[in-house]
Amino acid sequence: MSIHNPLAKRRYIIAGVALLFVLVYVMQLFNLQMLNPQYREYADSNAFLRRQLYPARGAIYDRKGNLLVYNRPTYDVMMVVREMDQFDTLDFCRTLNLDMERFHLLNAGMRDRRKNPGYSSYTPQLFLSQLDVEEYGLLQEKLYKFPGIYIQSRTERQYNYPNMGLILGYVAEVDKNKMAADPYYVRGDYVGKSGIELSHEEDLRGEKGVEILLRDAHGRVQGRYEDGRQDKAPVSGRDLTLGIDIALQAYGEQLMHNKVGSIVMIEPKTGEILCMISAPTYDPSLLTGKAFSANYQSLENNPYKPLINRAIAGTYPPGSTFKPTQGLIFLQEGVITTESRYSCYGGYPPLGGRPACHGHGSPLAIQYALSTSCNSFFCYGLNGMLSNRSKYATVGEAFDIWKDHLVKMGLGYPLGVDLPSEKRGFIPNSKFYSKVLKTDRWNAHNIISVAIGQGEILVTPLQLANLSALIANRGYYYTPHVVRERKSAVLEERFTTRHESGINREYYDVTVDGMADAVTKGTCRGINLAPFVEVCGKTGTAENPHGDDHSLFMGFAPKDDPQVAIAVIVENGRFGATNAVPIARLMMQQFFQGEIPESDQWLEKSIINREILPYVYTRNMPVK
Amino acid sequence: MVYQGSNEIEEKGMVDWITVLFYLGFVLLGWLNIYAASYDLENAAGLFDLSGRAGMQLVWMGTSLLLAFALIKIDVRFYETYAFLFYLVGIGLLLVTLLVAKEINGSRSWLIIGPVRLQPAEFMKFIIALALGKVFNSYGFRLMDRRNLLIVSAIILLPVFLVIAQSETGTALVYLSFILVLYREGLPGGFLFIGVAAIIYFILGIKFSDGQIGIISEGEFFTILVIIIFTASLVWSYMKRSDVFFMILLLAATTFLIAYIVSLSSVMIDWGVIAIIALSVTALYLLYLFFRYRRKSYIYIFLFLVSSFAFLESVEYVFNDVLQPHQQMRIKVTLGMEQDLSGAGYHVGQSKIAIGSGGFTGKGFLNGTQTKLKYVPEQDTDFIFCTIGEEHGFIGSTIILLLLLIFVLRLLHLAERQTTLFGRVYGYAVVSVFLFHLIINVGMVIGIMPVIGIPLPFFSYGGSSLWGFTILLFIFLRIDKSRKRT
């Protein structure tokens, strides 16, 4: 034919149409593949199922190597609904010891997308959680009979001792806030919620691994991405060893039975906490497993608040146990010397015998004042310091120097123990009083009760124990801590840094002598373990506006080369000598001898049986 | 150029090796991509494993090559001589299929003979092409004679109806692509223009059918404006009168201007009615021109206008009452009226994700996840282009697209160099089929065309389609081989 035919030109139109379409298509390809990177993400989120591989949580040992906390496997029953043909529901229920009603309830719960947003009939869905080993064994035997049923293992915390629930803390499923704050966590992860489990979460949790699986359009797993080359194996959590001696801890909890209060013992040379009792407390195994919610609820409703760790979160006026700090400050500031004597006539004379005092020789110097716990002496001291205008320009300046000394002794701020929710206590500064008294022109007599540990002063039992350790060390302390060793890691530097109080050693020596006298011939003779151990101590009786006075004791032993510092607080326990001192005595016996000598067994029995519970308003509250 | 001698059939020429190389390349690439698309991650079958798709495709490829060889060896006169016989057999097979076929995937197009499953509709493509070639080559044939037009239409439309009855709408549309052949052989461009206009009316009418302007929908309103512009353009194009073109636009604009002025005097104006008035003014003006100049073309353009309006008014009816819901949905999704990613839009959505995730260079052979994990439907048949896009990226898919374009242009070149009308008509039929498949299949996969299930030639898995395309192509190469050379 002929290309002169005008119709032959139409081939160019046809070619043009073809060209046009291909051009448009190339542009669309450019648009899809070059301008829209989100398609890659869509494809990846379609195809990759990142399955978490959970590491074993670290175990926890006590200072003598006793295993306290470990992991126990539990088993979850998973269901793939699509694979469940010819399913013998009756046999299944019998195996798991379920009745039909509960089966249908669980089944409905699993399929309910409101409760289980990720439901799919193609993928394993959680049907029943936390089978124990026996249940697991029964099911495993018959598993071949139940198509579509799978068992997934998890781990659960297991406790060897029913003690120190408050210190160990508990683990539970991670909540939304935590997930938002830390991208490490995803829904369903377990995380430490309190105690060591929370404060050492990063040690204990280890590192999750991940397995990248390929998932088809129905959600079924089709294999491993690149044969697992991109997978990451989980790294087990770090084991922790505590400074706590479980025997001592258990014994302390036993002594504090039916009482409210706290015992803290610290090894002064290291700052390791030997025991930390907060009463009432709870058995940590209550907060594991299926009964978690019920038990948690009942603990939370308990009027004595067993979920509060009073050793670090209870704040108390220290009462007379505060006096050693006062003596030290006055000596260091040169307000008094070791020989300065003040008179006491059964009370502080400048204020008409208030605060009152008790019978002892007068006038008296610091050592004797400590052993007899004379109120007047320390009131004179505070007044002498705050009204010394040749040394301090204003009362405020003097008071703030006073306050700085106390802060250096570890009071007024959280010590930084490795436990969550530590309270700071309270040491006021001059601004505080200027505000409260609405003038800058106040003097020592307006606030005289702080000199004897009353008034606004508040400390935690841990701070008090730390103060004992500071005095025992004659001037320094290490931040108290419960964890003494982290497996294959060093202890944090803040726990191995020595904190100096800035007060001369000679002043400590006289203070220690005073506290030794208090034990041998003063207010706390009840803890005199001579000649076996030379104990130094100071009692306290803190006024409590809500009821009976709190009974306090702080001390350490032996006097030379101290091994242990202790603080005991018994709420509403009246005089320090009544309850705190005998408890401290028994704890010392237990610490040094590992048992209670026969001569003290009547005391032990008496203390254990003592019930000192403050009155609580319990209307509409179940009383246990 | 001109016939030399009468019936010379002495073979001197060579098969067009360029086309054969393209063919072999495509089939080979198709085979690799079928292997990738159907690759099972857990128990991967080998490339040559007959239990896998790739292995089966290898069988189809082998038989296709034998078929191709045989087709080249057969005397060229055989095809033209028996064209009508083929046609009768083809129609007969379609009828038989319609009667005996069981439903597979919603269509009744498979003929099962023992272990072999065949789709006669695939083979009907070359049969219609041969029949068309023979008709055009008959002595004194003029396309625009009414009788010839009728015969040609019948040859095309009869199988179209039979295949639609088998629920293979896609294949029926392929047959309709033969209108390109008619266009090349003298069908006035106006027919194609009418077809394009109808598609534009349809798209506008459906896409904007939700909004309302006065008594008519937004779609109708815009379409009326387009009709007026088309009418004016036709006058310019056929009558060469630009003054009339501007006059028509001026009249329409004046109508709207008057309406606007009236509306200022706080009279409520129904803009839908105004649009219809503007259209009527245009129609009356055309009638006036016809009576003034007595030129028939004015009355044809007038008829174009009227039937356009009638078509527009019936579009909504056709869409809502003739099309089936899933077809309506596919069209709506393509027009961007629905964003239903879990329903009808799911397949196209996943297909776009697959291609888009390939990026510039792709994920690499066998590394595509979208297709292997079956997010894309029909990943080794109709949606095979997804695998290319996902694993070979923008580079790979563009190269394949360009190669297919060059292939079609090469066929166009071959068709045009034919020395017999039979050869040229057949050649253009081949071009039409491949071009249509290319445009519809790739357009569907990348989300520009509605989902019409037709394969990508040589790439998609399937014996019938590979055989069908091979036969179609190699008969053409056979005819080309014995063309007269100067």
Looking at residue B1, its pLDDT comes to 40
Does the distance separating the beta carbons of B397 and A10 come in below 8 Å? Answer: no
Are the beta carbons of A557 and A529 closer than 8 angstroms? yes
Does the distance separating the beta carbons of B448 and A24 come in below 8 Å? Answer: yes
Tokens, residue A12: 């160019």
| Interface residue of A2, A25, A30 to substitute, partner B, most B CBs within 10 Å | A25
**Range of weakest confidence among A205-219, A433-447, B405-419:** A205-219
- Residue located via tokens 């969550």: A420
For residues B110-116, give the mean pLDDT: 81
Q: What is the DSSP track for A169-235?
A: --EEE--HHHHHH-TT--TT-EEE-SHHHHHTHHHHH-B-EEEEEEE-TTS-EEEEGGGGTT-B--B
Domain assignment of residue B393, yes or no: no
Confidence of residue B270 (pLDDT cuts 50, 70, 90): confident
Does the distance separating the beta carbons of B435 and A44 come in below 8 Å? Answer: no
Q: Which residues of B touch A216 (CB under 8 A)?
A: 373-375
Q: Which residues of A touch B448 (CB under 8 A)?
A: 24-25, 28
Residue of A nearest to B447 (CA): A28
Q: What is the mean pLDDT of chain B?
A: 88
Are the beta carbons of A194 and A170 closer than 8 angstroms? yes
What are the pLDDT digits (tens) for B46-80?
778 877 888 999 999 999 999 999 999 999 899 99
Looking at residue A619, its pLDDT comes to 58
Report which of B340, B336, B346, B394 is spatially closest to residue A40, judged by C-alpha positions: B394
The answer on B140 and B47 residing in a single domain is yes
Confidence of residue A615 (pLDDT cuts 50, 70, 90): confident
Domain assignment of residue A312, yes or no: yes
Are the beta carbons of B55 and B95 closer than 8 angstroms? no
The answer on B154 and B22 residing in a single domain is yes
Confidence of residue A2 (pLDDT cuts 50, 70, 90): very low
Q: What is the DSSP track for B176-190?
A: HTTHHHHHHTT--HH
Looking at residue B41, its pLDDT comes to 67
Residue A28 has pLDDT above 50, yes or no: yes
What are the pLDDT digits (tens) for B73-94?
999 899 999 999 999 999 999 9
Closest CA–CA distance from residue B276 to any residue of chain A (Å):
33
Q: What letter does residue A487 receive in the DSSP assignment?
A: T
Closest CA–CA distance from residue B474 to any residue of chain A (Å):
21
A323 contacts: CB under 8 Å, gap ≥ 6: A369, A370, A373, A378, A452, A453, A538
Cα–Cα dist B286/A145, whole Å: 84
Q: Which residues of A touch B354 (CB under 8 A)?
A: 43
Domain assignment of residue A73, yes or no: no
Q: What is the CATH number of the domain that holds A334?
A: 3.40.710.10
The answer on B327 and B220 residing in a single domain is yes
Does the distance separating the beta carbons of A8 and B416 come in below 8 Å? Answer: yes
Domain assignment of residue B388, yes or no: no
Cα–Cα dist A161/A69, whole Å: 8
**Range of weakest confidence among A420-424, B191-195, B206-210, B423-427:** B206-210
CA dist list (Å): A405 to A118, A409, A456, A463: 59, 6, 17, 14
Closest partner residue to B394 (CB to CB) among A3, A14, A29 is A29
When comparing pLDDT for A360 and A116, which is higher?
A360
For residues B353-364, give the mean pLDDT: 91
CA dist list (Å): A431 to A30, A333, A452, A466, B256: 70, 21, 20, 27, 83
Q: Which residues of B touch A15 (CB under 8 A)?
A: 409, 412
DSSP H/E element including A339: none
Closest partner residue to A29 (CB to CB) among B185, B397, B416 is B397
The answer on B32 and B175 residing in a single domain is yes
The answer on B177 and B42 residing in a single domain is yes
Q: Which one of B267, B299, B332 terminates a domain? A: B332
Looking at residue A153, its pLDDT comes to 77
The answer on B158 and B75 residing in a single domain is yes
Full domain range(s) for residue B131:
17-191+412-481
Q: Is A102 helix (H, G, I), strand (E, B) or coil?
A: helix
Cα–Cα dist A44/A42, whole Å: 5
When comparing pLDDT for A565 and B206, which is higher?
A565
Q: A326 burial class (0-12, 13-18, 19+ CB within 10 angstroms)? A: buried
**On the CB side of A122, how many CA atoms lie within 13 Å of its CA?**
8
For residues B471-482, give the mean pLDDT: 94
The answer on B467 and B327 residing in a single domain is no
Looking at residue A502, its pLDDT comes to 92
Confidence of residue B43 (pLDDT cuts 50, 70, 90): low
Q: Which residues of A touch B178 (CB under 8 A)?
A: none
Report which of A154, A166, A193, A202 is spatially closest to residue A56, judged by C-alpha positions: A154
The answer on B172 and B245 residing in a single domain is no
Q: Which residues of B touch A222 (CB under 8 A)?
A: 41-42, 372-373
Cα–Cα dist B147/B26, whole Å: 41
The answer on B178 and B66 residing in a single domain is yes
Residue A102 has pLDDT above 70, yes or no: yes
Does the distance separating the beta carbons of A46 and B375 come in below 8 Å? Answer: yes
Domain assignment of residue A550, yes or no: yes
Confidence of residue A506 (pLDDT cuts 50, 70, 90): very high
Burial B200-230 (b: 16+ CB within 10 A, else e): ebbbbbbbbbeeebbebbbbbbbbbbbbbeb
- Residue located via tokens 């803190």: A542
Confidence of residue A367 (pLDDT cuts 50, 70, 90): very high
Closest CA–CA distance from residue A224 to any residue of chain B (Å):
8
Residue A108 has pLDDT above 60, yes or no: yes
Does the distance separating the beta carbons of A215 and B398 come in below 8 Å? Answer: no
Report which of B181, B183, B143, B176 is spatially closest to residue B159, judged by C-alpha positions: B176
Closest CA–CA distance from residue A219 to any residue of chain B (Å):
9
Q: Which residues of A touch B42 (CB under 8 A)?
A: 222-223
Number of CB atoms found within 10 A of residue A476's CB: 16
Does the distance separating the beta carbons of B408 and A18 come in below 8 Å? Answer: yes
Looking at residue B12, its pLDDT comes to 66
Residue of B nearest to A4 (CA): B1
Closest CA–CA distance from residue B152 to any residue of chain A (Å):
18
Are the beta carbons of A157 and A195 closer than 8 angstroms? no
The answer on B187 and B41 residing in a single domain is yes
For residues A379-392, give the mean pLDDT: 92
Cα–Cα dist A352/A364, whole Å: 19
Domain assignment of residue A409, yes or no: yes
Residue of A nearest to B359 (CA): A33
The answer on B313 and B430 residing in a single domain is no
Q: What is the DSSP track for B351-372?
A: HHHHHHTTTTT-S-TT--STTT
Q: What is the mean pLDDT of chain A?
A: 89
For residues B116-133, give the mean pLDDT: 91
Residue B329 has pLDDT above 60, yes or no: yes
pTM, whole model, 2 decimals? Answer: 0.65
Looking at residue B81, its pLDDT comes to 93
Q: Which one of B332, B365, B383 terminates a domain? A: B332
Closest CA–CA distance from residue B335 to any residue of chain A (Å):
15
Residue of A nearest to B188 (CA): A7
Looking at residue A281, its pLDDT comes to 93
Looking at residue B344, its pLDDT comes to 59
A335-341, Cβ contacts within 8 angstroms, sequence gap of 24 or more: A335/A381, A335/A384, A335/A385, A335/A388, A336/A366, A336/A381, A336/A384, A338/A365, A338/A366, A338/A367, A338/A507, A338/A510, A339/A365, A340/A365, A340/A366, A341/A365
Interface of A with B (CB under 8 A): 1-3, 7-8, 10-11, 14-15, 17-19, 21-22, 24-26, 28-30, 32-34, 36-40, 42-44, 46-48, 214-218, 222-223
Closest partner residue to B41 (CB to CB) among A34, A39, A223 is A223
Q: What letter does residue A342 receive in the DSSP assignment?
A: B
Are the beta carbons of B447 and B348 closer than 8 angstroms? yes
Residue B115 has pLDDT above 80, yes or no: no
Domain assignment of residue A227, yes or no: no
Tokens, residue A427: 């040491």
Residue B335 has pLDDT above 60, yes or no: yes
Tokens, residue B397: 């898919």
Closest partner residue to B412 (CB to CB) among A7, A11, A43 is A11
Closest CA–CA distance from residue B2 to any residue of chain A (Å):
6
What are the pLDDT digits (tens) for B136-195?
998 888 888 889 989 999 999 999 999 988 888 889 999 999 999 999 988 888 888 888
Closest CA–CA distance from residue B271 to any residue of chain A (Å):
36
What ipTM is given for this predicted complex? 0.88
Closest CA–CA distance from residue B213 to any residue of chain A (Å):
33
Confidence of residue A622 (pLDDT cuts 50, 70, 90): low
Residue A333 phi/psi, 5° resolution?
A: -80, -5
Q: Which one of B273, B303, B332 terminates a domain? A: B332
Domain tally, chain A: 1
CA dist list (Å): B216 to B81, B90, B302: 56, 47, 22
The answer on B224 and B90 residing in a single domain is no
Full domain range(s) for residue A510:
246-587
Burial A20-48 (b: 16+ CB within 10 A, else e): ebbeebbebbeebbeebeebbebbeebbb
Q: What is the bridge-based pairing of β-strands A60-61 and A240-242?
A: parallel
Report which of A502, A512, A514 is spatially closest to residue A332, judged by C-alpha positions: A502
Are the beta carbons of A243 and A273 closer than 8 angstroms? yes
Domain assignment of residue A412, yes or no: yes
Percent pLDDT > 70 in chain A is 97
For residues B32-52, give the mean pLDDT: 80
Domain tally, chain B: 2
Domain assignment of residue A580, yes or no: yes
When comparing pLDDT for B218 and B423, which is higher?
B423
